[in-house]
Amino acid sequence: MERMVSEKGNGSFVKAEAHKDAIQSSLAGTDVCSDHDILRICLLAGKIMLQNGGETSRVEDTMMRIAAAYGYDNSHSYVTPTGILFAIDGTAPATRLIRISERSTNLQKVTIVNDISRRICGDGMTPVEALSLLQETDTQPFAYPEWLRIATAALASGCFAIMFRGGWSDFMPAVLAGGIGFLLVVLLNRFVPVKFFAEFLAAAAIGGTAVLLTQNGVGADLNIIIIGSVMPLVPGLHITNAVRDLMAGHLVSGLSKGAEAFLTAFAIGSGIAVVLSLL
Amino acid sequence: MMVWIEQLVTSFIASAAFGLIFNVPKRMLLQCGSVGMAGWFMYMSCVQLGIGVVPSTLIAVVVVTVISQLFARMYKTPIIVFNVSGIIPLVPGGIAYDAMRNVVENNYNAALELGFQAFMLSGTIAIGLVLSEVVNQLLRKPAR
Describe the crossing of helices B108-140 and A236-247 by its angle, rounded to 10 degrees.
60
pLDDT at A33: 60
Query: What pTM does this model have?
Result: 0.82
Within-domain flag for A70: yes
- Quick one: A111 and A193 in the same domain? no
Number of domains making up chain A:
2
Q: Please give the Cα distance from A224 to B110 (Å, whole number).
A: 19
Full 3-state SS string of chain A: CCCCCCCCCCCCCCCHHHHHHHHHHCCCCCCCCCHHHHHHHHHHHHHHHHHCCCCHHHHHHHHHHHHHHCCCCCEEEEEECCEEEEEECCCCCEEEEEECCCCCCCHHHHHHHHHHHHHHHHHCCCHHHHHHHHHHHHHCCCCCCHHHHHHHHHHHHHHHHHHCCCCHHHHHHHHHHHHHHHHHHHHHHHHCCCHHHHHHHHHHHHHHHHHHHHHCCCCCCHHHHHHHHHHHHCCHHHHHHHHHHHHCCCHHHHHHHHHHHHHHHHHHHHHHHHHHHHC
CB contact under 8 A, B14 and A163: yes
Of A160, A237, A247, nearest to B22 by CB-CB distance is: A237
Q: Find the mean pLDDT for residues A212-225.
A: 87
Q: Is the pLDDT of residue A1 over 50?
A: no
pLDDT top residue among A219 and A139: A139
Within-domain flag for A8: no
CB contact under 8 A, A110 and B81: yes
Of A115, A142, A156, nearest to B14 by CB-CB distance is: A156
CB contact under 8 A, A153 and B76: no
Q: Please give the Cα distance from A246 to B91 (Å, whole number).
A: 19
- Quick one: A230 and A116 in the same domain? no
Task: Look up the ipTM and state it.
Answer: 0.88
In a mutational test of the B interface, the residue from A105, A140, A160, A189 whose CB has the highest number of chain B CBs within 10 Å is A160
A118 CB neighbours in chain B (<8 A) are: 76
CB contact under 8 A, B81 and A111: yes
Within-domain flag for A5: no
Give tens-digit pLDDT for A59-110: 998 999 999 998 888 889 999 988 999 998 877 788 899 998 888 889 999 9
**DSSP secondary structure string for all residues of chain B:** -HHHHHHHHHHHHHHHHHHHHTT--GGGHHHHHHHHHHHHHHHHHHHHTT--HHHHHHHHHHHHHHHHHHHHHHHT--THHHHHHHHGGGS-HHHHHHHHHHHHTT-HHHHHHHHHHHHHHHHHHHHHHHHHHHHHHHHHTTT-
pLDDT at A250: 87
CB contact under 8 A, A243 and B77: no
Q: Which domain holds residue A80?
A: 16-139
- Quick one: A107 and A181 in the same domain? no
Domain locations in chain B as residue ranges = 2-140
- Quick one: A150 and A274 in the same domain? yes
Q: Is the pLDDT of residue B22 over 80?
A: yes
- Quick one: A111 and A31 in the same domain? yes
Within-domain flag for A7: no
Within-domain flag for A4: no
- Quick one: A30 and A94 in the same domain? yes
B88 CB neighbours in chain A (<8 A) are: 231, 234, 236
Which of A95, A115, A139 corresponds to the end of one domain? Answer: A139
Q: Is the pLDDT of residue A48 over 60?
A: yes
pLDDT at A53: 86
CA proximity to A40, closest of A6, A102, A84: A84
- Quick one: A32 and A125 in the same domain? yes
CA proximity to A179, closest of A210, A134, A142: A210
Question: Any residues with CB less than 8 A from the CB of A196 and at least 6 apart, and which?
Answer: A263, A264, A266, A267
Which of A139, A154, A184 corresponds to the end of one domain? Answer: A139
- Quick one: A158 and A254 in the same domain? yes
Within-domain flag for A232: yes
pLDDT top residue among A249 and A26: A249
CB contact under 8 A, A163 and B11: yes
Which of A98, A113, A139 corresponds to the end of one domain? Answer: A139
B15 → chain A, closest CA residue = A156
- Quick one: A131 and A163 in the same domain? no
pLDDT at A258: 87
- Quick one: A135 and A157 in the same domain? no
Task: Tell me phi and psi for residue A31, to 5 degrees.
Answer: -95, -25
pLDDT at B49: 92
- Quick one: A163 and A118 in the same domain? no
In a mutational test of the B interface, the residue from A159, A186, A225, A270 whose CB has the highest number of chain B CBs within 10 Å is A159
Contact in structure between B99 and B122 (CB atoms under 8 Å): no
Least confident of A45-54, B28-37, B119-128: B119-128
pLDDT at B60: 94
